[in-house]
Chain A
Amino acid sequence: MKNLIVVLLIAFIVPALSAQGKYFTKEGKISFFSDAPMEKIEAHNRKANSVLDPATGKMEWSVLVKAFQFDKALMQEHFNENYMESDKFPKAVFKGVIQDHDKIDWKKDGVHNVKVRGTMEIHGVTKDVVADGKIAIKGTSISAQSDLTVAVSDYEIKIPAVVKDNIAKTVKIDIKADYAPLVK
Chain B
Amino acid sequence: MKKILLLIVLSFLFLFQINAQDDTDLLSMLDEEETIDYTSAAFKTNRVINLHSLENTARGVLDFKISHRFGFINGGAYELFGLDNATIRLGFDYGLTNNFQIGIGRSGFEKTYDGYMKYRLLRQSTGKRRMPITLSVLAATAIRGQKWTRDEVEYPFFARFNYTYQLILGRKFSDNFSMQLSPTVVHRNLVVTRTEKNDVFALGIAMRQRITRRLALNVEYIYVLPDQIAPGLKHSLSVGCDIETGGHVFQLHFTNSTAMNEKGFIAETTGDWLKGGIRFGFNVSRVFTIVKPKIID
Contact = CB atoms under 8 A, between A and B. Distances in A.
B26 to A, nearest CB: 4
Interface residues of B, number: 41
Interface in B1-44: 3, 6-7, 10-11, 13-14, 17-18, 21-22, 25-27, 29-30, 32-33, 35, 37, 40-41
Interface stretch (B129-137, B184-192, B288-296): B288-296
Given A11-B10, A14-B18, A64-B35, A77 B29 contact: no
Interface stretch (A17-25, A99-107, A127-135, A136-144): A17-25
Contacts of B60: 73
Given A51-B29, A51-B30, A162-B246, A71 B289 contact: yes
B58 interface: yes
A163 B245 CA distance: 8
Nearest to B22: A56
B61 interface: yes
A11 B13 contact: yes
Interface string B214-238: 1000000000000000000000000
B175 interface: yes
Nearest to A29: B297
B287 interface: yes
Nearest to B21: A18
Given A46-B295, A82-B213, A82-B214, A60 B27 contact: yes
Interface string A145-164: 00000000000000010110
Contact of A18 (B11, B18, B95, B214): B18
A161 to B, nearest CB: 10
Query: Chain A contact residues (Cβ within 8 angstroms of B): what range?
Result: 35 or more
B26 A60 contact: yes
Contact of B10 (A7, A59, A71): A7
Contacts of B41: 77, 81
A163 B214 CA distance: 12
A49 interface: yes
Nearest to B11: A7
B164 to A, nearest CB: 26
A4 B4 CA distance: 9
Nearest to B297: A46
Given A14-B18, A18-B21, A46-B295, A62 B27 contact: yes
A10 interface: yes
Contacts of A184: 29
A166 B10 CA distance: 63
Contacts of B156: none
Contacts of A11: 10-11, 13-14, 17
A88 B95 CA distance: 28
B206 to A, nearest CB: 19
A22 B22 contact: no
A22 B213 contact: no
A1 B18 contact: no
Nearest to A167: B246
Contact of A8 (B10, B30, B32, B293): B10
Interface in A73-100: 73-74, 77-78, 80-82, 87-88, 93
B61 A74 contact: yes
Nearest to B57: A73
Contact of B14 (A7, A24, A52): A7
Contact of A14 (B14, B32, B33, B297): B14
Contacts of A56: 22
Which of A44, A72, A166, A182 has the most chain B CB atoms inside 10 A of its CB? A72
A37 interface: no
Given A44-B295, A46-B295, A74-B61, A3 B7 contact: yes
Nearest to A8: B10
6 contacts: A10-B14, A11-B14, A24-B30, A61-B27, A69-B293, A81-B41
Given A51-B29, A73-B287, A74-B247, 19 more contacts: A1-B3, A7-B10, A11-B13, A15-B17, A18-B21, A46-B296, A49-B32, A51-B30, A69-B293, A70-B293, A71-B289, A72-B61, A73-B293, A74-B61, A77-B40, A81-B40, A81-B41, A81-B213, A184-B29
